[in-house]
Structure 1
Amino acid sequence: MTIAAARALTGDRRVFVGIGLPSTAANLARRTHAPDLVLIYESGTLGSKPTRLPASIGDGILAETADAVISVPEVFNYWLQPGRIDVGFLGAAQLDRFGNINTTAIGDYHHPKVRLPGAGGAPEIAASCGEVFVVVRQSRRSFVERVDFVTSFGHGRGGDARRELGLRGAGPTRVITDLGVFRPDPETRELVLTDLHPGVEVADVREATGWELRVAADLGRTPPPTDAELAALRTLKEAS
């Protein structure tokens, strides 16, 4: 999953990176095939090049290795909201068939079963980045028919929901899980399984999906991780 997510990042694009799985994938991409990626973290670090995985957006290594450090309001006002960031890379606790993300609460908002970390800058990232990649471990608990709370807007209830709200970015264009890769249908915006990871079958994905799964007619397979990619990932994690 991490390597498939890293491969999705190419060239010299500016990436707004979330902590956790997105940060691992983004840093792996920069260490391997995309050394010119510009990693931007919510704390105001532009062009961070950490030698290990940061523990949080406040980890000092992000500032120490950055091209520049600016204030949080500047990141959002001058970089994110004007559309200067190409890719937002987010995680999720819950995700629905239209790519809406919940990181706020499981169950009723006022009396939740689980209170989650919350929004942070994710709603603005989802609204304003050129496109959004989501990386999440897949199960019926995470892939739900309808999220309990919309923390970050994906494609709403589908169709032209984003355009009707005046949102700048294209929203989730790729969802990468430990089972495969999903992309939104060009018209309905419903997530469609487009690629399976090695060793995974469609039945496995259906079992881990909380809605009636759509599968692409030309379903592909992600290439297995290379030895070099695995070595780079292990080195990155061992240094943390």
Structure 2
Amino acid sequence: MPVVPQSFAMGEMLAVLLARDMADGEKAIVGTNSDIQVAACNLARARHAPHLWWVSGPGGMTNPTEGIIRPAADAENIAVAQAVMDLPLMIDFIDWQIHFFDFAILGALQTDRFGNINTVCVGDHAKPRLRGPGTVGISALCGLSKRFYIMMTRHDRGAFVPKVDFVCGAGHMTGGSSRTDAGLPEGGPSLVVTPLGVFDFEPASKAMRVRSLHEGVTIDEVRDNTGFDLLVPDKIESTLAPDAEELFVLRRAVDTTGVLPAKFPWPKAN
């Protein structure tokens, strides 16, 4: 696993990396267990995207901002939200409107070479080794959002597999034009952020590609912890670590109670 930086936690870094890719005026949706996702959206709003708005998929709260990170479905968010939408309206957005959301941020039990994600189960569906939270609205968000981010708090061969055991969120399917050939709108996963690096998808093949590696991480380490062959550019960039200003805003305005470092420290070295 990577060399542990002393100045910031893994959760803080993942939030910063996601926030950097968000643009002003975009519309986003996050799910229930979304501490890092909430932090990323509120960090982007505090720094460079004041007109970005995000909504809690399970709760309908829009832009709850108090400097305290809570589960996105927590009823305490209602008091500090700019608006609250009821379930029928949320269903209209999530299930029926193509490209209403600019992006979703999703975690997964598994993801594969083409960014398909699994939150249902690991192993046979009738007798799984591990059962996840289920599909919920993920299928619609992966299919209808302009893009989605995959946020993984572990990077190993159990999480990055050749083929997910259950496709609950369609990525680039089998690569190439297979997503649009199947009748899905253009879109799919754009970035994957993990404790080891940042990954994107090669435009033609749609296969996952190394974009940057975090400090202290080698390409051999990434290959050893990935269950499929990643595309590797001739020159591998180093991930730009969170700077002092990003961390100041994150800690003083977004995560004032330190949820991210408490819940998402760097993994211990093997």
Same fold (TM over 0.5): yes
- The answer to whether the 8 A contact 1:49-1:66 is kept is yes
In structure 2, the partner of 1:17 is 30
Distance 2:245 2:239 in 1: 16
Query: Greater share of strand residues, 1 or 2?
Result: 1
Q: Output one character per residue of 1:53-103: Cα deviation in whole Å (capped at 9) or x when no partner.
A: 122x32123322333222223123146632221111111111000100011
Q: CA deviation at 1:156?
A: 1.0
Q: Percent identity?
A: 33
The two structures have a TM-score, normalised by structure 2, of: 0.81
Q: Output one character per residue of 1:86-129: Cα deviation in whole Å (capped at 9) or x when no partner.
A: 11111111100010001100111000011111112111111111
Distance 1:113 1:151 in 2: 17
In structure 1, the partner of 2:147 is 131
Distance 2:207 2:108 in 1: 17
1:158 aligns with 2:171: no
Query: Runs in 1 of length 4+ with deviation above 6 angstroms?
Result: none
One-letter amino acid of the structure 2 residue matched with residue 10 of structure 1: A
Distance 2:75 2:44 in 1: 21
Q: CA deviation at 1:221?
A: 1.9
In structure 1, the partner of 2:257 is 238
Q: Which residue of 192, 204, 208 maps to 1:187?
A: 204
Q: Which consecutive residues of structure 1, in runs of 5 or more, have no partner in the other structure?
A: none
Distance 2:103 2:131 in 1: 28
In structure 1, the partner of 2:90 is 75
SS in 2 for 1:182: strand
1:99 aligns with 2:115: yes
One-letter amino acid of the structure 2 residue matched with residue 70 of structure 1: M
Distance 1:146 1:71 in 2: 36
Distance 2:186 2:39 in 1: 23
Structure 1, 81-90 or 217-226: larger mean CA deviation = 217-226
One-letter amino acid of the structure 1 residue matched with residue 225 of structure 2: A
Q: Which consecutive residues of structure 2, in runs of 5 or more, have no partner in the other structure?
A: 1-13, 260-270
Q: CA RMSD in A?
A: 1.9
- The answer to whether the 8 A contact 1:38-1:47 is kept is yes
One-letter amino acid of the structure 1 residue matched with residue 138 of structure 2: A
The two structures have a TM-score, normalised by structure 1, of: 0.91
Q: Which residue of 87, 91, 103 maps to 2:103?
A: 87
Q: Output one character per residue of 1:11-36: Cα deviation in whole Å (capped at 9) or x when no partner.
A: 22111123323223223322333332
One-letter amino acid of the structure 2 residue matched with residue 54 of structure 1: R
- The answer to whether the 8 A contact 1:99-1:191 is kept is yes
Distance 1:33 1:197 in 2: 23
1:28 aligns with 2:47: no
- The answer to whether the 8 A contact 1:39-1:49 is kept is no
Q: Which residue of 60, 65, 68 maps to 2:80?
A: 65
Structure-2 change in CA distance of 1:216 and 1:130 (3 Å): same
In structure 1, the partner of 2:5 is none
SS in 2 for 1:238: coil
Distance 2:195 2:184 in 1: 29
Structure-2 change in CA distance of 1:37 and 1:238 (3 Å): same
Structure-2 change in CA distance of 1:199 and 1:10 (3 Å): farther
